[in-house]
Amino acid sequence: MIKNLSRIATAVALALLPATMLTPAHAADTPTAAETLPLAQAINRLPIADEIRDGYSRDKFKHWNAGEIRGDGCDTRKEVLIHEAIEPPTIGPNCSLTGGTWWSYYDEVTVTEAGQLDIDHMVPLAEAWDSGAHAWTAQRREAYANDQGAEESLLAVTGTTNRSKGDKDPAEWLPPAPGALCRYLSEWTGTKLRWDLTADETEQARLADLADECTDTVVTYEPAP
C-alpha cells in the first residue's frame, strides 16, 4: 500500500509541478491483508535464527532511488521528509527543501531544518542482511531500502539518534525518550514480520522482556509485496 500519496502530492504542488507528472510507481501492486496482533504475540511469531553478516555491504541495498512518485523530482529520502513534515516544507528546483517542521520521536525533538534529519531504516540495512536479506535478490534489497509501503519502515529522525542507533537491534539500543519505547518495539517487530526477517535469541528475549512494559501495544503489519 502506497502511504499517504495525497499528502506528498499536496506538498509537491507547492513547487507548481503539473499534476499529470504525479504517477504512483506501484499503482498496480496487489494489496495483501494487514494483520494486527498484541505485541507479545507478534514477537513470538518472529522466526529465530543466528545472524549472518558474511558478505554484507551497504552498497548491496540500492538507495535512495526515484521514490514512489515518478516525475516529482524527489528521491525516496526527500519523499519521506515531505510525508513526515508536521508543517510542509517549500519544494524548490531539484526537490530542494526549505522551511518545514518535523518531530523526531526517538528523542522527542522538534526539527526545523531538513538537513538536520536522517532517514532511519527501522530495521537497519546491516541488521536486515543478518536476518535474511543476504539471501534476497538485489531488486528485493532495493525495495526494502526504499520501502514507503509501511509507515514504520523509514522515519525522519535527528542525525544524533540515528547515528547512535547505527546497526544495533533492541538488545543493544533503544530510543532515548522513555515515551518512545512501546512504539519502537511495535515498529521494529512489525518491520521484521513485514519482510519475513528473523531474530536471534538475544534479540527475541530482549523484545519479550521489554514487551511487559507495553501490555496495550499492538503490532499491525502487511507482508511486503
User: Could you tell me the pLDDT band of residue 7, with boundaries at 50, 70 and 90?
Assistant: very low
Distance CA 126, CA 110 (A): 28
Question: What pLDDT shows up at residue 71?
Answer: 80
Q: Which three cell numbers stand for residue 92?
A: 524548490
Domain boundaries, the chain: 5-221
Of 68-77, 121-130, 200-209, the range with the lowest mean pLDDT is 68-77
Residue 108 has pLDDT above 70, yes or no: yes
> What is the overall mean pLDDT for the chain?
89
Cα first-last separation, the chain? 9
User: Could you tell me the pLDDT band of residue 27, with boundaries at 50, 70 and 90?
Assistant: very low
> 25, 142 in Cβ contact below 8 A?
no
